[in-house]
Structures are given as structure tokens and as C-alpha cells.
């Protein structure tokens, strides 16, 4: 990684260390192969964002107010997909949101809420799946 940073490619170094997702919409300006390979390697090694149990909401989905893709999902307009999310409790294979009933644990629901699954807090009070208490 020192070689990459030495060349001034901080973005690629962040992807390699699992500290950033590849935003496929803007790969036309970069070495597409290098970025995608770096992301696959970080995912395989479970580095950074790839180590979070249940996955993480992608930044572009968070900004648009949805739970959207989790680790392993493709970015918007990517036309490709990669491995499934690290936990079936994060997002269903169809992309559907996980329900409180499927989660089954109040503690797990709070963890998912902290990871960005804001749809689990229906009334906006900062507590997910209150019926699981």
C-alpha cells in the first residue's frame, strides 16, 4: 500500500484497506480494473467496511434516504454485482428490507439501526423494532 500512497492515489489505498467502497458511476475517470480488484481483495480479506457484521449501507444509498445496497451489492448503474452480503439479516437476496420479525432480537435490531438501517425505526425516536423489547 505504501507504493500506492507514494504515487498519490489515496482513493485506491482507501479501497484496498476496506475504508471505502468503489463508486462505479465514476470509474470512467480511474483505472477501473485496479479499483474493482482492490475492492474484491478487501472484501475477501474482510477488511474495514467488509468486516461489519450484517453489512453497511452504501454512502450513495444513505444520502438518498434508503437502506439500499449492503456490502456485496453493486453501486447504482454498475450493471454488475458481487458476492452476497455478509449476513442474511442485513438485506434479503431480492434486495427487500429485513423486517423486525425476521431479525427476532431487540439487541440485533438496535445494532442494525446503528449501521444505518433507519427503516427499522418507524416512528423516528431512535429505537428500532420496539415490539421486540
Across the range 14-18, mean pLDDT stands at: 93
Distances (CA, A) of 116 to 9, 29, 41, 69, 101: 29, 29, 24, 11, 18
Question: Cα-Cα-Cα-Cα dihedral of 2, 3, 9, 11, to 10°?
Answer: -50
Across the range 25-43, mean pLDDT stands at: 87
pLDDT at residue 111 greater than cutoff 80:
yes
List residues bridging with 91 in a β-sheet: 97
pLDDT at residue 2 greater than cutoff 60:
no
Of the pLDDT bands very low, low, confident and very high (cuts 50, 70, 90), residue 75 is very low
Distances (CA, A) of 108 to 37, 53, 112, 114: 32, 10, 6, 10
Report residue 6 as a C-alpha cell: 507514494
Amino acid at each position: 500500500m505504501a507504493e500506492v500512497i507514494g504515487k498519490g492515489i489515496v482513493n485506491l489505498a482507501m479501497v484496498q484497506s476496506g475504508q471505502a467502497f468503489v463508486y462505479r458511476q465514476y470509474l470512467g475517470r480511474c483505472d477501473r480494473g485496479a479499483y474493482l480488484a482492490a475492492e474484491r481483495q478487501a472484501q475477501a480479506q474482510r477488511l474495514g467496511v467488509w468486516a461489519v457484521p450484517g453489512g453497511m449501507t452504501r454512502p450513495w444509498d444513505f444520502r438518498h434516504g434508503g437502506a439500499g445496497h449492503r456490502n456485496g451489492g453493486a453501486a447504482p448503474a454498475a450493471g454488475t454485482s458481487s458476492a452476497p452480503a455478509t449476513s442474511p439479516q442485513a438485506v434479503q437476496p431480492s434486495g427487500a428490507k429485513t423486517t423486525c420479525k425476521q431479525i427476532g432480537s431487540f439487541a440485533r435490531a438496535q445494532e442494525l439501526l446503528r449501521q444505518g438501517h433507519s427503516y427499522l425505526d418507524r416512528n423516528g425516536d431512535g429505537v428500532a423494532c420496539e415490539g421486540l423489547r
